[in-house]
Structures are given as structure tokens and as C-alpha cells.
A and B are shown apart, each in its own frame.
Chain A
Amino acid sequence: MQDNRNIYTPIRARLTDVIEESPSIKTFVVVPEDKFSFKTGQFIELSVDGVGEAPFTPSSSPLITEKLEVTVMKTGYVTEYMHMLKPGVLMGIRGPYGRGYPVEAFFGKEVLILGGGCGLAPIRSLLYTLESIKDKLVKVILCYGSKTPADCIYKPLFDRLNSIEKFEAYRTVDKADEDWDGSVGVATTLLNKIKINIKNSVAVVCGPPIMMKFGTIRLLEMGYKDDQIYLSMEKNMSCGLGKCGHCMMGEFFVCRDGPVFTYDEIKHNPEIWK
């Protein structure tokens, strides 16, 4: 039977809450008017009516389907408008799109998550998912870096993670202030502190492109194999449907073939770090 659904039409969604995470980052809570669910690591196209849409990986748990949280850094045309929105407005959602984290492949393993900046948003969704299946995992370690203590989002998350059995969470900042008593240095410096059985481990990297590159290099130096490293790639995913061409990364459409790839899948392609 032919599918007559219009792939370009968004689902209507009501913005019900806006949470300020940092001076430049807010979390938007939206309630879709139609049934909507996603797998962790998949992304959506979120529309500001009449302004534009942009791709975001929800930061909420995929187990909660009645509402969706999207954490957004004010960094471009659409996100600047988004940061001015007040609860009550109508937004649009298309998706979910792409290939998320293959959590079944993490069963019986130690999961190392290396995150930076706003990359913690999709990681939070992954962490909720991993928490729900923690009896199937050996351990989960989060190493997260932000530029300054003020840029560090979801502050209560770290205490909560450290209180969960099998979970460890570490934070660092590039530049400390007077009140900061934690680590100082880029996210990869935290990798020197952790104890992990690399052979029985997978590593997830999500953050700004420069961190993805150097994070991957460091993980390879530590002994991770190419197919043990999961990268969440960032490109200009405009249609989400593998058609518009904006997110081409070599032969891959990041929106459909990714956004989560193993390093093994994409390492042959010199375009990945561009």
C-alpha cells in the first residue's frame, strides 16, 4: 500500500515550559498534539512557527512519550527566536529521524560517555535510557567538559548520577572561576582518571566537532577499537529525510545513515572532521 502521508508536514506541539540551564542554554518542554515517540539518539526538526526549523536530539527520556524536552543553545537564527519564546506558543515537530544509539549492543558492557558543551543534551537522554536498563550493563562512566562552570548544564544531574549504582560522573571546565573546585582541562583529561576495562567497553562521544575529533583520537590511543567508538555527528540536517543534501558527509546522509555512527563506519572518509 502506498504511503500518502505528507513527509514535510510537522506535528503541532505546545510549548509548556522553558527551563533556563545557563546564560545561553534553555530547555524547552513541548507536548505533541499527536502520538509521538523516539529512540535515544534520534533527532527531531523543531519549528518556530513562521521563522524556521532546526534539528535537535531530545534531551528527555524516550520512555516518557507525552512530552518532550529539547535543550537548545542560542547560537543561530532559529535558536535566537526560540530563546525568546514563552510557554503557550505552538511549535512544530517533524521526525523522529535517523539512527540513534544501539543500546542493545551495550548489554553486558562498560559504557564510557565523553561529552562536551551542549553535547550533554542527547547524552542526558541516553543516560536516562541506560539507567532504565542498568541491570544489563556493567557500568556507565560520564566524562563531561564545558568551557566554564556557568556553561555546565544540568548541574543536579551529576550528583544524581553519582548516587545511582554502577554510574560515575565527572566534570571538568576549560576555565575555572573562584567557586569551582573540580577538574580543570578539556574533557579528554578526565579519561586519565577513570578505571575501565577497555576490552569490554564501548565509548560514546558527543560534543562540538573539535572535541569529537580529539576525543576519538584519545580513545584510539587508549586502546579502543574503531567499532567500539560511537560518534554522534553534527551536520546541517535540514529535511531529515535524506533528500535535501545539506547534511551529506561523503556518501552518507547524516540525517538518515546517522547521526550516530561507529568510527569504523566513517573513518575512511576524510570529510568527517570537516
Chain B
Amino acid sequence: MQYKCIPKEEWDKTIERLLLSYTIFASVENEYGLDYELIKPRDILKISYNKPKPATPLKSFFLPVKENVTLERIDEKPRIILGIPNCDIEGLGLLDEIYLDIEFNDVFYRNRRENTILIASDCFGIQENCHCLSYNIKPYSETNADLAVINLNGIIVLRILSAKGEDFVKKIPMMQSLEDKNLVSAIEKEQHATETLLMTSNVGLPDYKNTGELIIKAKENIWEKYAAHCVSCGACTTICPTCTCFLLIDKPGLEKVKQLDACQYPGFERVAGGEDALFELHNRFRNRYMCKYVWKPEKFSSLACTGCGRCIDACIGKINKNEIFMELVK
């Protein structure tokens, strides 16, 4: 793994310079918690490093909630997204498989992907519902992003993860190779500490494959029991880094507006004539788990749940999917 480093104050000046040619979003802590914000020069010192996790999933930068997909594309300024947890980086894998597939390539998604430098952030510490490691996803990125950032002892360390990331780093003055072995050890120590926290807080949680097997075997009464607290608000799918189902809405002039949709909403699978395989709430509720742990894995190589835990944080019915899985294990 190749590391580069730069003093923190020089990195902050670098971000200020980069703002001339890039739109930068970074993880910032405000009174509501941590989330991505559009960075202006005065915000640079507010950028949060290595703390999990922005409230908004990364998908929002590539698949807007609502977008006219028949209008001419406007070339956007290149973007940097800084401070991405690895659960979101891994989630982007599924989006790439869906939206960059060879036969039907979504140009809107592709342009944004090509136009964006992804700077991941190693998670030092966990949030209550983080469980990436249970699905064999590490709390730090080693692939799929362009760079990973670590802020330690007044030094910004960048782990180079792609050719695009390497090119980007080359253009930053004062960037040096990381020779300090103690700093590398300190980073690894933090990583291991986070992994230990994840293991401790998720003892007994089945892994991804086992979860799928448990879900297939689950009896209807399990879904009825937990769906009793569900109000079909779709918060879980909206905040999920891998849920991207959408609806095409027609506008005059044969224009199409693509809008985020959710299998949790009534009528999602309704066909002409009124038949609806997901009419009953507990069937819609079950559908989300079947999709994530059973059906998507049959079709795609990327995981459809990366253990970010946001769906648990967001649920107004206080439904904790991991409690369902723990009950199924029994």
C-alpha cells in the first residue's frame, strides 16, 4: 500500500487552492451530527476526518433524488468528495454494476462518476449501528476509492488506491512519501482498534451469506411481527447507500424525470389492472431483505448491504434489522 503525507496546515492550504478548480464536498460536524457539506474557504478547518459517518449516503452525489434525464447534460465542475466511509465506497460498487452496465449505460451517472475524485476516510471509532465488518467490509478503504485520508498527529496521510488518485496527488506540492514507520503503525493500530470495536458490538450477528439463508427460511410471522412497526415511509431505502430503485415520470415534450422510489411504498409493484404482489405491508417489508440478501447477490458481485446501519438510525418505527437477524439465528 502506497502512502503519501503532508503537514495538516499545508493540506488545508491545498484544499483552498483546489477550491478554485473543484467543487468540494466534505464531512463536517454540525449541531445535528456529521454530514457532507459544500466546502467554502471558511469551512476548511471544520472538515472532520476519520469520524464515522456522514448522515447522507454517498449515492446522493451520483443519483439525485429527482432529475430530468432527457434534458441536455450540463458539464459540471470536477468534484472532490472527501471523508467517505468504506461502507459507502463499497456501496458504490453495486451502483456501478447497475448504472455502468455495458448494454444500458446511464450517461448522467457515468459523467458524475468520471468527474469525481473519491477520497475515503478510515473510520477511527464506530457509531451505534455500524456493522460493516460482519459483512467482511473493513472500516477503511483499500480499493474502489481514489484515495483514503488519515489525519494523525498533525499529518495528513493519503493512501493511494487508484491511478486517478495517484495523478491527483502528484499535482499537490509538498506531498511526500511517508517514511515514518511509526506513523504507519499508528494508523494500523487505529484500524485494528476500530475492527475490535465492531466485532465486540456485533457479536453473534450472522454474516452476509448466512443472513440470506436465514431470510429465505424465515416464516411469515417474523415479517408480520416486525412490519407491525413499519409505516412504509421509505426512510430505510432513501438513506440506504445501495437502494436506487426509481420511477420515470413523464413531462410534456416526451421528457422524463427520474425520481427515487422505494419498494416500501404501496403500489411499487402494482401492474395495470390492479394486481399487486407487494400489496400487504409485511410483504413489502420482507421484499427489502430478500432483495438485499438473497436476490441481488444472485445477480451482482457487489454487496447490497454494506453494514452502514443508517436504516436502523433512520427508522421512525425503531425497527432494527439486526434484531430480526439475531432472532432468526436463535
Contacts and interface: CB of A to CB of B under 8 A. Distances in A.
Are both chains from one complex?
A: yes
Interface of A: 2-10, 12, 47-54, 73, 75-76, 78-79, 90, 92, 208-209, 234-236, 238-239, 241-248, 250-251, 253, 271, 274
Contacts of A47: 250, 254
Contacts of A245: 244-246, 261, 263, 291
Interface in B228-265: 244-254, 256, 258, 261, 263
A243 B106 contact: yes
A220 to B, nearest CB: 22
A258 to B, nearest CB: 14
A242 B70 contact: no
Given A75-B273, A76-B273, A271-B277, A6 B70 contact: yes
B253 A49 contact: yes
A50 B261 contact: no
A60 to B, nearest CB: 20
A47 B299 CA distance: 29
The interface size bin for chain B is 35 or more
A73 B49 CA distance: 58
Interface in B202-241: none
Contacts of B105: 2-3, 7
Contacts, number: 107
B188 interface: no
Given A9-B70, A9-B256, A243-B99, 6 more contacts: A5-B107, A50-B252, A53-B250, A208-B273, A236-B270, A243-B104
Contact of B248 (A6, A209, A244, A253): A244
Nearest to A92: B254
A247 B272 CA distance: 13
B211 to A, nearest CB: 16
Contacts of A238: 247-248
Given A2-B105, A234-B271, A51 B245 contact: no
A226 B65 CA distance: 42
Nearest to B291: A248
A8 B256 contact: yes
A48 B258 CA distance: 17
A7 B108 CA distance: 10
B248 A53 contact: yes
Contacts of B298: 250-251
Contact of B106 (A7, A52, A76, A209): A7
B311 interface: no
Given A8-B258, A47-B250, A48-B250, A236 B269 contact: yes
B32 to A, nearest CB: 30
A48 B107 CA distance: 24
B292 to A, nearest CB: 12
Contacts of B277: 271, 274
Given A6-B69, A12-B254, A50-B253, A242 B295 contact: no
B268 A54 contact: no
B272 A75 contact: yes
Nearest to B263: A245
Contact of B246 (A51, A78, A243, A250): A243
B98 interface: yes
Contact of A235 (B107, B254, B269, B274): B269
B169 to A, nearest CB: 26
Residue from A5, A49, A208 with most neighbouring chain B CB atoms (10 Å): A49
- Going nearest first, the 6 A-B pairs with the smallest beta carbon separation are A245-B245, A251-B298, A50-B252, A76-B272, A274-B277, A8-B69
Contact of A52 (B250, B271, B294, B296): B250
B254 A54 contact: no
A74 to B, nearest CB: 9
B155 to A, nearest CB: 39
Contacts of B246: 239, 243-245
Contacts of B76: none
B250 A50 contact: yes
B101 A4 contact: no
Nearest to B106: A7
21 contacts: A2-B105, A5-B107, A6-B70, A7-B104, A8-B248, A9-B69, A9-B254, A47-B250, A50-B253, A53-B248, A54-B272, A75-B273, A75-B274, A76-B273, A76-B274, A236-B271, A243-B98, A243-B106, A245-B261, A250-B295, A251-B296
